[in-house]
């Protein structure tokens, strides 16, 4: 057709109007559908007392949202349960399937056919929130992810999580995988209540995996007084999620925030909620220094109450091989050196002042006859924090585990530490 003919050609006005209206309707429908895909529920939250389960504050706590990687809390619950039942051990190795290896990031980069210990799967899920690790754990425990998901949902019903439905073990996007802030607080509390000797894993800042340092995504732990876990999560449909646990003055609170617009706003919301529930307003970062200073002024017995036993942070680079705070019967410690060598130590706590750390270690030695005469040392702050770590030296792995068990009964915080510490000692 000639250009002159094109210039002369016109659609009838009525037909052109109908066409444009139809086009606009289709475009708007597409835009609406696209927008709905990314519309997230409003921020929801809940704070509970870990001991009693009493709700201290809530805001739309029963509103449905996607759990994202907070799903891994249930996966970890079932892993801890299998450990407690003796079905697996920390050193049990699971084989990586093609399906598990092909999970979307974030992941550890596991390859098909290789093996990985349950120990590394746990820390991979807690720190990197590794989706491949979650799938390996699911397949290793139940034979398939479908069978594992059935266990997840059965356990959810058992724990009273009435509005939660799991569809995969990792939290990767699935429209049918939903939960609520209230349900997740029940799960977080169950982890603390049912597995007190595993709960300290959630305080791990980072661990070494095959020569690389894997860091925890929960950055609020480093700037909020007493926080020691639990889990972060994010997918487009959910927004930024966080389940958190913190201890102050011997009281543990658990909070859940779902639907944050950014990681920062989510963290700030959690800090404000916990501060309010603890009866302490103000800047959560400033509260860290204040709470630490107050802790130094309190007696050692108060600082070492049972609920604080998980607040004895182990050096970051040692977390991968440190059994915290004790091992189940029949499990073996994962160390790089023979268990027969008396090169293990036990950590009593981490303090903002060297003098407080030294007094804590000396007090622990005096409390337990079997470790009297042991050498005490204080490790200088690492580049990751500003805390002095109080340790008692010269144990075998078995002796360290036994000593910590006895100290726990005396309400003194303790965690065995394997050989190979990376800090320079300050005596």
3-state secondary structure of 302: helix
326 is catalytic: no
Of 72, 231, 326, 374, the catalytic one is 72
Surface-to-core class of residue 348, CB atoms within 10 Å of its CB (0-12 exposed, 13-18 middle, 19+ buried): buried
Of 45, 69, 185, 304, the catalytic one is 69
Helix, strand, coil % over all residues of the chain, rounded to 5? 45, 20, 35
d(CA 205, CA 290): 22
Angle, in degrees to the nearest 10, between helices 145-158 and 131-142: 90
How many CB atoms are closer than 10 A to CB 146?
A: 11
129 is catalytic: yes
Of 45, 97, 101, 129, the catalytic one is 129
394 is catalytic: no
How many CB atoms are closer than 10 A to CB 86?
A: 11
3-state secondary structure of 256: strand
CA 332 to chain centre: 24
Site of tokens 């939903």: 178
Angle, in degrees to the nearest 10, between helices 131-142 and 72-84: 40
Catalytic positions, written as ranges = 69, 72, 129
């Amino acid at each position: 057709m000639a250009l002159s003919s094109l210039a002369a050609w016109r659609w009838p006005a009525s037909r052109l109007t109908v066409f444009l209206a139809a086009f606009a309707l289709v475009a708007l429908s597409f835009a609406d559908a696209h927008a709905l895909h990314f519309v997230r529920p409003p921020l929801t939250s809940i704070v509970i007392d870990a001991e009693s389960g009493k709700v201290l504050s809530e805001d739309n706590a029963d509103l449905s949202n996607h759990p994202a990687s907070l799903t891994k809390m249930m996966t970890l619950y079932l892993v801890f349960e299998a450990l407690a039942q003796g079905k697996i051990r920390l050193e049990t190795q699971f084989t990586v399937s093609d399906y598990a290896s092909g999970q979307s990031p974030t992941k550890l980069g596991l390859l098909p056919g290789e093996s990985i210990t349950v120990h590394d799967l746990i820390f991979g899920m807690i720190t990197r929130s590794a989706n491949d690790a979650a799938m390996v754990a699911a397949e290793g425990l139940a034979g398939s992810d479908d069978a594992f998901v059935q266990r997840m949902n059965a356990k959810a019903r058992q724990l009273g999580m009435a509005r939660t439905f799991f569809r995969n073990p990792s939290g990767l996007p699935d429209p049918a995988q939903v939960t609520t802030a209230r349900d997740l607080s029940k799960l977080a509390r169950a982890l603390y209540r049912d597995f007190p000797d595993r709960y300290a894993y959630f305080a791990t800042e980072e661990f070494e995996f095959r020569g690389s340092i894997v860091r925890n995504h929960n950055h609020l732990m480093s700037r909020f007084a007493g926080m020691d876990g639990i889990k972060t999560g994010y997918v487009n449909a959910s927004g930024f999620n966080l389940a958190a646990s913190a201890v102050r003055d011997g009281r543990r609170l658990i909070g859940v925030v779902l639907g944050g617009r950014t990681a920062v706003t989510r963290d700030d919301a959690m800090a404000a909620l916990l501060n309010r529930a603890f009866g302490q307003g103000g800047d959560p970062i400033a509260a860290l220094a204040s709470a630490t200073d107050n802790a130094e002024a309190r007696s050692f017995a108060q600082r070492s109450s049972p609920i604080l036993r998980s607040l004895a942070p182990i050096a970051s680079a040692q977390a991968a091989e440190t059994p915290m705070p004790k091992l189940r019967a029949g499990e073996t410690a994962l160390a790089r050196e023979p268990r027969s060598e008396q090169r293990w130590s036990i950590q009593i706590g981490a303090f903002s002042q060297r003098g407080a750390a030294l007094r804590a270690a000396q007090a622990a030695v005096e409390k337990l006859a079997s470790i009297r005469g042991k050498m005490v040392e204080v490790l200088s702050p690492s580049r990751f924090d500003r805390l002095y770590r109080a340790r008692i030296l010269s144990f075998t792995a078995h002796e360290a585990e036994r000593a910590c068990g006895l100290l726990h009964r005396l309400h003194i915080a303790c965690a065995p530490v394997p050989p190979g510490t990376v800090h320079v000692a300050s005596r």
